[in-house]
Amino acid sequence: MKERLFRDILPRVEKPARYTGSEVNMIKKDWDSKSAKMVMAFPDVYEIGMSHIGCKILYGLVNETTNHLMERSFAPWPDMEALLRQEEIPLYSLESFTPLAKFDVVGFSLQYELSITNVLNMLELGGIPLCSAQRSDTDPLVIAGGPVAFNPEPFADFFDAFLLGDGEEVTVEFLDCVETNRHLEKAALLQELAQIEGVYIPALYEVSYHADGTIKSFAPSAEGIPLRVRKRLVRDLDLAYYPSQPVVPYLGIVHDRAVLEVMRGCQRACRFCHAGMVYRPVRERSVEVLARQAEEQLKNTGYDEISLASLSTLDYSGVEILVKQLVEEYGRQGIGVSLPSLRVDAFSIELANEVQKVRKTTLTLAPEAGTQRLRDVINKNVTEEDLLVAAEAVFKSGWMGLKLYFMIGLPTESEEDLQGILELLKKVKSIGSRYSRRAIEIRASLACFVPKAHTPFQWQPQAGISSLEEKRHFMLKQKMKNVKLSFHDSRTSYLEGVMARGDRKLGEVIHRAWRMGCKFDGWSEYFSFTTWREAFAECGIDPDFYVRERSRDEIFPWDFIDIGVDKDYLWEENERAFQRILTPDCRQDGCVSCGVCPQFEFEPFSGEGA
């Protein structure tokens, strides 16, 4: 098959190197001598999937430390897909060119709600029945993990199992169980798998609904199946596996650099933030371990840049020491350090300066909202003064541009808040103009707020498409020179919101939308909202149902998933938002009683840290 691909197929597609494998550090294990065989399937193109740290971790973990085997597969771009279909070539893994259907386990990484149509597409191209119920003992188990899996219900029809929480904790246990119970029929195997903490088997649960469509009950349909599924958690990042020789792609990918994960979780308590809630509590890696990992990774990959990744890298307690150490050590060789996100304060900018001794990248700050009132509502503990001081530090240091992130459609938002964004941009620009004779460029990215499961705003309505469009027009009316506003697509965000708080009934709609041609929905050139609308209509499902405001006592489709944070805490945070009461950073000011530390037997922060 490989020969045929190289000779007849790949010369006809755009970016053939997406489909060839054989990259530096690829691990190709002997197929026949290995236990469980899994393919990590990423429902987006190679350049995106290969940029994802979680997949790199699991790939190394399974291949380097166990007797199982893990290969990789990515969503083929539509040109390649057309050729695969036309030439009847099944979607294959990049290591051994094995069709997906031949693996024991096909595991999808769900990073984005709208990648689900690509999951269906890849299953079909791989020769695997789409729904869990249609798959027999001889078909692979189809599983998923990643942040989207914290509300797995809209996708329940398609997966045999979801793995919740930190993958390095649960994946190997899952594969061990698959291998040990290889002789069992699928139904019995699923029962066994359900015993593993962090594994959710949708087929083993039943849902009933009230007349208004909300959930009446959600419970296991068999004996011995847990009522709630608790996520898995890495307790000590220093002891956790981290790849020292990740695959180095041949073609340029989105994050084409070595990556260190300095910490997991975030303690800032922004009320809109999904990752901030589901990845609690904060766990840090020590500077010593990170320095060693940097050395190994750079030696084994030859990258010229190393990025310090986490949800909020500037909050990592060792960030200053680590950055200085890395710059000192590798700067001479032309190897740069990069910080993916900056906090809105002068310290961040000073550190960014340190980093820029080697290479200049764009600086990005995220005030999220335009007025103090609204920033208090969302608990973004940043003042206008912080922002202006940070901006001043940026331009003083010679940067010619700045990128700012905001959201529109936040709870309680009014015209004043939108105007506030514009005023803020004006102020930032005027600071820049004082320091530079050339024109400086301000870019603002405006995302549409999407209420997510497991966050304090899970009860809140999502702003409708027409209201978001009005907001956009309002803001675009006031043109400013050298200030560029870019808005996320409101219809894409709407659909994302439907999925984010959706239930099992959406499976039918997703299936239909995919049948009608939907795929690559996260890519504006392929997204067809009209088709999705038709799919909803044909299934008799009103998508507005999922973006509505919800009452306190409603049973949510994701309530049975235990992320460790109490629902009462989330509700209280929701209430506090409307009273404009701030919730402090628990690492700075002590425990805020979200519940996660006692739940996982961690020592809560006393408030003396960081």
Query: Judged by CB under 8 A, which of 1, 6, 213, 227 binds another protein?
Result: 6
Tokens representing residue 143 in the block: 């599983």
A 10 A CB-CB count for 225 gives 17
The pair phi, psi for residue 559, each rounded to 5°, is: -60, -30
Residue 22 lies near another protein (rule: CB under 8 A): yes
Which is nearer to another protein, 303 or 526 (by Cβ)?
A: 303
Question: What's the CA gap between 145 and 37, in Å, rounded?
Answer: 17
**Could you say whether residue 251 binds another protein (CB under 8 A)?**
yes
Q: Which stretch binds another protein (CB under 8 A): 295-303, 389-397, 433-441, 467-475?
A: 295-303
Q: b/e for 505-544, b at 16 or more Cβ within 10 A?
A: bbbbbbbbbbeeebbbbbeeeebbbebbeebbeebebebe
Total site size for another protein, rule CB under 8 A: 28
Give the range of 269-277, 352-360, 496-504, 582-590 binding another protein by CB under 8 A: 352-360
In this complex, which beta carbon is closest to another protein, that of residue 304 or of residue 534?
304
| CA–CA dist 583, 359 (Å, integer) | 37
Residue 7: other Cβ atoms inside 10 A: 9
**Rounded distance, CA 436 to CA 137, Å?**
67
Q: Minimum distance between the CB of residue 269 and another protein, rounded to whole angstroms? A: 39
Cβ count near 467 (within 10 Å)? 15
The residue behind tokens 């530096």 is 24
Handedness of CA 129, 133, 134, 136 (dihedral sign): positive
For the chain, helix (H) and strand (E) counts, in that order, are 22, 19
Give whichever of 56 and 454 is closer to another protein, judged by the CB atom: 56
Q: Which of 365, 357, 364, 306 is nearest to 335 (CA)?
A: 306
131 touches another protein (CB under 8 A): no
The least CB distance from residue 251 to another protein, in Å, is 5
Q: In terms of CB distance, is 23 or 470 closer to another protein?
A: 23
- To another protein, the closest distance from the beta carbon of 332 in angstroms equals 9
Place of tokens 């020769």: 127
Q: In angstroms, what is the minimal distance from the CB of 475 to another protein? A: 35
CB of 99 to another protein, least distance (A): 21
Locate 354 and state its tokens.
């340190």
248 makes contact with another protein (CB under 8 A): yes
Judged by CB under 8 A, the chain residues 296 through 335 that form the site for another protein are 298-304, 333-335
Dihedral of CA atoms 576, 579, 581, 583 in degrees, nearest 10, equals 20
User: Given CA atoms 128, 129, 133, 136 in this order, what sign does their dihedral have?
Assistant: negative
The residue (of 245 and 372) whose beta carbon lies closer to another protein is 245
Q: What is the torsion angle, in degrees rounded to the nearest 10, for the CA atoms of residue 48, residue 49, residue 50 and residue 51? A: 50
Q: Cβ of residue 314: shortest distance to another protein, in angstroms?
A: 24
| Residue 20 in contact with another protein, rule: CB under 8 A | yes
Stretch that binds another protein, among 22-30, 141-149, 155-163, 504-512 (CB under 8 A): 22-30
Contact string 355-384 vs another protein (x = CB under 8 A) = ---xxx------------------------
All residues at 6 or more sequence positions from 187 whose CB lies less than 8 Å from its CB, including other chains: none
Q: Is 23 in the site for another protein (CB under 8 A)?
A: yes
d(CA 407, CA 272): 10
List all residues 6 or more positions away from 38 whose beta carbon is below 8 Å from its beta carbon.
62, 68, 69, 70, 71, 103, 104, 105, 106, 107, 175
CA angle 599, 601, 603 (to 5 degrees): 115
Window contacting another protein (CB under 8 A); options: 130-138, 201-209, 251-259, 278-286: 251-259
Q: How far is the CB of 87 from another protein (least distance, A)?
A: 14
- Check if the beta carbon of residue 322 is closer than 8 Å to that of residue 291: yes
User: Rounded to 5 degrees, what are φ and ψ at 330?
Assistant: -110, -15
Nearest approach in angstroms of CB 177 to another protein is 36
The only residue of 88, 136, 224, 252 in contact with another protein, by rule CB under 8 A = 252
Shortest distance (Å) from residue 513 CB to another protein: 33
Position 11 contacts another protein (CB under 8 A): yes
Can residue 495 be called a binding residue for another protein (CB under 8 A)?
no
Residue 294 or 390: the one with the smaller Cβ distance to another protein is: 294
Exactly one of 7, 183, 437, 552 binds another protein (CB under 8 A); which one? 7
Pick the piece of the chain touching another protein (CB under 8 A) from 9-17, 53-61, 70-78, 590-598. Answer: 9-17
Confirm or reject binding of residue 401 to another protein (CB under 8 A): no
Sort strands 37-42 and 105-109 into parallel, antiparallel or unpaired. parallel
Per CB under 8 A, which region of 31-39, 250-258, 316-324, 492-500 contacts another protein?
Answer: 250-258
What's the min distance (Å) between Cβ of 301 and another protein?
7
Q: Establish if 16 lies at the interface with another protein (CB under 8 A).
A: yes
17 part of the interface to another protein, by CB under 8 A: yes
Please report, as ranges, the residues that interact with another protein according to CB under 8 A. 6-7, 10-11, 16-17, 20, 22-24, 248, 250-252, 256, 298-304, 333-335, 358-360
